[in-house]
Structure 1
Amino acid sequence: MSKPRSAPKSGGKPNPRILDDAETLDNDIGLRARIAALDLIAAAQTKRNGFDEAGSSAEFMALSESERAFARALALLVLRRLGQLDFIIAKKTQKMPPDAPKALLRIGMAQIFFMQVPDFAAVSTTVKLAERNNNTRPFKGLINAILRGLIREGGLKDVNPQRLVPDWLWQRWKATYGEESAGGIAMALTEEPATDLTFRDMDALKAHTEALEGEAIGGLTLRSNLRGDVRTWSGYDDGVWWVQDAAAAIPVALLGDLTGKTAIDICAAPGGKTLQLLAKGAQVVALDRSKNRLKRVEENLTRLKFSAETHCVDAESFDDDRQFDVVLLDAPCSATGTFRRQPDVLWAAKPSEVSKLADVQHRMLDAVATRVKPGGSLVYATCSLEREEGETQVLAFLRRNKDFTTAAVDTAFAQDQLGLDARDVTAEGWLRLLPHHRKGGQDGFFVAHLKRL
């Protein structure tokens, strides 16, 4: 799996420095890293996947490793706290400043409040950045005054969850889940997530728990407290685990032993669910329309010493009449449930996307339903918090397809075997996983296990 995005802890300033004091103050190194952070934030706000595209650009990769690490950490912190930071800026100014000086205030405040950057360095470098451009130079006095004033005040007050996320999402979540749950969802944004690992079997999980500073949290998932490059961690070279959020592991975990069974994983990249199906004994066909993303699946298959049939094609164009015991559709969606690890999704997503993606999910469900053998399973999942991409889709699908029914998830099984909260199980027997329902958090997911009669 890909390395998880990481950022310094967002409560206080407990984490080690990424740039040392000398580098922080150096006009070239310190300023380059902060300029790169500004570029990442702007890209994230401009379009979906903008953060990752900017983070893999030639300009960004030309920076030193420490500069890239600092830039990513700072950018992710700003994106986690964007709504809160903008609220503070609005309180401290009679009129909200233009975008360029506002962007500088955000990175200055994020360093002061959430990173182990000396306060004087955070102020000094931010003011120096303001001096560099005509559109920010007139605001350098304001920037200096606001940042120094915030330092004197000694920290942030209590966080209002509503200010952490875009208002349109807050209103949707409040209407769907109630204000208390909406607040719990939003507050999950303030905590840096640990790294979840899925193991191929329980023996391997137990063997590596101590070295990975991990805690078993249900099924074959271990939550590790380690940070840094996962390729250096215990068990990586042995191919006994892969990075996968605890919630993302649930759809396949609902299925029993698949020895001798056939399965097709639609939209398979980055491959975590394909690996789970193989570990359960299935013969697997993995589809993905993206050549680059499918390459990641194949790389992970090689590292884990697994074999699967892969095709670079979308589900609706796959010219193959085979039917399968298991059809897994982790459908394209707004991905609003992944904000803990990818806070940029909140600021790039648009309300209109939800309905457009719901149409895509509708078509894909109908396209893959015919691939399920009689008596077989169709597992539908999305990493979205929006009902239109979850509950509403399955209700409509069952009305259209009378030969399918829900294989209801038992609450006791969900709690005892999967480590889930009783609140995660819906009245229909589906799963609605909310980020604040698990200690330490989880991605927001919807999962329905359906059976073909």
Structure 2
Amino acid sequence: MARTARAAAVAMLDGVLGEGLLLSQCEAALTGLSPADRARAQRLTAQVLRHVEPTDRLLKPFLRKAPPLTVLNTLRLATVELVLGEAAHGVVNEAVNIVLHHRRHGALSGLVNAVLRRVAENPSFGKQPPQRLPFWLRKPLVDAWGKPAVTLMEAVQAAPAPVDLTLRPGRDVGIEGAEALPTGSLRLAPGVQVSALPGYATGDWWVQDAAAALAVPLLAPQAGERVLDLCAAPGGKTLQLAAAGAQVTALDVNESRMTRLRDNLARTGLVAEVVVADALDWQPEAPFDAILLDAPCSATGTIRRHPDLPFVKDGTELEALVTLQAALIDRALGWLKPGGRLVFCTCSLLPEEGEAQLAAALARHPGLRVDDTLPPGADPAWRAPAGGLRLRPDYWADRGGMDGFFMARLAR
């Protein structure tokens, strides 16, 4: 039986929920699929991961005990499709076939058929709350931002994220249905085929979440300045810096992720010096006017676009990340010209990787201060109490939210 998009989605769910793999590590399941089916499989997998908890509650009355994981993931996938309005006949038949042709679980195809026919009689999550974040993450977020804010974050994360575009300065792009955001990004509906949009081939824009796109305006690069994009991959900020006319050095330790950065530079015709090296070992030939440090972090602010993260991470990596962030801040400050500026940012919702990291840096470096200038279009309500910007998924909730970020501009 040839693998279908649904069968690939089940295999990817097995990888995330059974083996603790990130979705990016499950792409072998997509082998042999057409581009359209690959995209569909990825979309289906993400939909299920956003609704595992409510789906399991819906299935529970029809299951005397939990079936094997592949069978359960097949049921989850089919249930989510039924709730989203897919025709019951095709959904149920393919789910039955996926299990029927499984090398170990074929005998459970009858169970799948019976359960899904019951679900199809009332395919709704009803008034169930959205999927909750895992305890290790939810508790510190509630402590930091309050329960209502976290509940709204969870509601935003239950829906596919819209697609945000950063426009190249001076380019006039007419994209039907695009919403111009106050910060200058364009927002499109989820699932749009990016490569088919006007301006793609000519490099008039690139995909970049609206929150992530604020770091470069906060740094305010000037034409001709020497600017370092530290931990640069996959390169959205590098493109912004280069488009502003800066002389950009883009540095990252990950060769494979830098391939995407090079591809984007080629598509847009923008120029940057690309360096693959460990920032803790590398040394520049001369100091920089400005540095953008988008430091490695827990990525807890990106769950709306990466719904696999709550199932794969458990917070145990946080201590090492905080230590690395501090080391990178210290190293970057040593590479600045006198009077230079540094923007430190992390796509994290946890204060340890944002507000607390800033406080620790200020304590370690006498004379360092926060430049509290806001980037154009930023809401003053996003200003963090001790300086910098605190961005959260519940902001712009009626528009689809934004990634969670902390960012601060530092100067001596």
C-alpha distance in structure 2 between counterparts of 1:166 and 1:85, whole Å: 16
* Other-structure match for 1:386: 350
In the TM superposition, 1:315-394 aligns within 5 A as: 315-394=279-358
C-alpha distance in structure 2 between counterparts of 1:217 and 1:256, whole Å: 19
Q: Which of the residues 57, 68, 83 maps onto 1:87?
A: 57
Shift of 1:47: 6.5
Gaps of 5+ in 1: 1-27
In the TM superposition, 1:37-436 aligns within 5 A as: 37-45=9-17, 50-55=22-27, 57=28, 60-114=30-84, 116-133=85-102, 135-161=104-130, 163-201=131-169, 203-204=170-171, 207-209=172-174, 211-225=175-189, 227-256=191-220, 258-410=222-374, 417-418=376-377, 420-436=378-394
**Equivalent position amino acid for 1:117 in 2:** E
Range that drifts further, 86-95 or 169-178: 86-95
**Equivalent position amino acid for 1:310 in 2:** V
Shift of 1:320: 2.2
Decide whether aligned partners of structure 1 residues 147 and 165 sit closer, same or farther in structure 2, where only a CA change above 3 A counts.
farther
Q: Is the 8 A contact 1:192 1:341 kept in 2?
A: yes
SS in 2 for 1:328: strand
The TM-score with structure 2 as length reference comes to: 0.92
Give the CA RMSD over aligned residues: 2.2
C-alpha distance in structure 2 between counterparts of 1:39 and 1:173, whole Å: 32
C-alpha distance in structure 2 between counterparts of 1:444 and 1:229, whole Å: 24
Shift of 1:321: 4.5
Q: Is the 8 A contact 2:164 2:210 kept in 1?
A: yes
Decide whether aligned partners of structure 1 residues 192 and 77 sit closer, same or farther in structure 2, where only a CA change above 3 A counts.
same
The TM-score with structure 1 as length reference comes to: 0.85
SS in 1 for 2:212: coil
Q: Deviations over 1:184-212 (max 9, x none)?
A: 111112222221111121x42xx213x34
Shift of 1:314: 1.7
Q: Is the 8 A contact 2:165 2:205 kept in 1?
A: yes
Q: Is the 8 A contact 1:215 1:222 kept in 2?
A: yes
Q: Deviations over 1:316-370 (max 9, x none)?
A: 1113252111111101111111111111122111220122211211221112110
Q: Deviations over 1:202-225 (max 9, x none)?
A: x42xx213x343121033311123
Q: Percent identity?
A: 34
Shift of 1:48: 7.1
* Other-structure match for 1:445: 405
C-alpha distance in structure 2 between counterparts of 1:403 and 1:212, whole Å: 49
* Other-structure match for 1:7: none
Decide whether aligned partners of structure 1 residues 47 and 235 sit closer, same or farther in structure 2, where only a CA change above 3 A counts.
farther
Runs of 4+ in 1 over 6 A off after TM superposition: none
